[in-house]
Amino acid sequence: MEVTREPALEFRSRQLRARDMLRGDLEGADLERYVHERVITTTLDRAISWARGNSIMPATFGLACCAIEMMSMVASRADIARFGYEAFRATPRQADLLIISGRISIKMAPIVRRMYDQMLEPKWSIAMGACASSTGVFNNYSVVPADKFMPVDVHVPGCPPRPEALVHGVLRLRSMILGDPKLGWRERYGAQGTEEVVGPVAERGSGPGADAENVFGPGDTAGA
């Protein structure tokens, strides 16, 4: 299974051509093509999304243990300031990224939803940690996953995720905003059809998971 790389323009070759252009060694057709590629073709949307992607201001919204790792992300080792996202705004009026760092109890859910509603447009949200993405360790009466009541763009796994994992999540969000989301592992390695949740028999089509039959009888949770 060969791996699909980015389009042909390798980073190294682009760097060399930029250097030639700066030195003035690039003329004729090469110069035309270079200018055409770099300057003219950026549409207004891509320019705006480039500006938005590089100027995200997260909201200081710490809930539980993940907030401590979020603070470590701002601290000196896994430093988010390298990407310009260290300006944590206290009010939703000035923030456009809501990092839900911690477990959301049913008493806190309407407040998280209200905080998300009162944020600036365009806004994004990251469900940090297992408790915000799914209920994590606490699958009980009092914890609500973030997807239940608000749209979530990036789920960062971990309990708590390492600061580097959160920085990776934020960078994944940035590449989503810039319009070329990084390929998920299924698309990159061509593994569609291995999802463990297969549709009902009627809609399964012919993919590898099509002939999955239920080992346990309905309602039998002995294996879980």
Partner 1 sequence: MSTPPHISDRPRGEQGIDVATAGKQLEAPEEQLLTINFGPVHPSTHGVLRLLVTLEAEVVRDVTPIVGYLHTGIEKTCEDKSYWKVVPVIERMDYLAYYFNAMAFCGAVEALVGVEVPKRAQYLRVIHLELNRIMSHMVWLGTGGLELGAISIFWYAFRDKETLLDLFEMSSGQRMHTRYFQVGGVFEDIPPGFEEKVRAFCAEMPGRVDQVEAILSRNEIMLQRLRGTGVTDEQTLLDHGVTGPLLRAAGNPWDLRKAAPYSSYEDFDFKIPVGSVGDNYDRFRVRMAEVRESVKIIEQALDGLPEGPFMTEDRKVALPPRHELGTSMEALIHHFKLVTEGFRVPPGELYYAIEGPRGELGCFVRSDGSAKPARVHVRDPSFVNLQAFREMAADGYVADLIATAAMLDPVMGGVDR
Partner 2 sequence: MLRSYLPAIVFLGLGTLVGLAFAMLNTFLGPRRPVKSKQDPYECGLPSEVQEGFRFGISFYLVAMLFILFDIEVIFLYPVAVQLKAFGAFALTETIVFIVLLAVAFVYVWRRGALEWK
Partner 3 sequence: MPDATGLELLAQEIGKDEPDAVLDTVYFRDRATILVDPGHVKAVMGQLRDRGYRFMASVHGVDYYPDEPRLGVLYELLDMEKVDRLTVKLRVDIDTPEVDSVVEVFPTADFQEREIYDMFGVVFRGHPDLRRILMPEDYEGFPQRRDFPVGGEPVTFTYNQSKIPHYTE
Tell me which residues touch partner 1 (CB under 8 A).
Answer: 60-65, 67-69, 71-72, 75-77, 90, 102-103, 105-111, 113, 115, 117, 131, 137-144, 148-149, 159-160, 162
Q: Which is nearer to partner 3, 77 or 107 (CB)?
A: 107
Q: Which is nearer to partner 2, 13 or 118 (CB)?
A: 118
Position among 4, 13, 54, 118 found at the interface with partner 2 (CB under 8 A): 118
CA distances from 39 to 18, 25, 116 (A): 12, 18, 36
Is residue 57 within 8 Å of residue 174, measured between CB atoms? no
Name the nearest CA neighbour of 112 among 153, 136, 144.
144
Q: Does 121 bind partner 2 (CB under 8 A)?
A: yes
- Find all residues with CB under 8 Å of 43, minimum gap 6, and list them: none
Which residues in 52-111 contact partner 2 (CB under 8 A)? 91-93, 111
Q: Which partner from the list partner 1, partner 3, partner 2, none does 120 bind, CB cut-off 5 to 8 Å by kind?
A: partner 2
| Sign of the dihedral through C-alpha 173, 179, 183, 186 | positive
Residue type, 172: R
Is residue 120 within 8 Å of residue 96, measured between CB atoms? yes
Q: Which partner from the list partner 2, partner 1, partner 3, none does 77 bind, CB cut-off 5 to 8 Å by kind?
A: partner 1
Contacts with partner 2, residue ranges (CB under 8 A): 48, 91-93, 111-112, 114-115, 117-118, 120-122
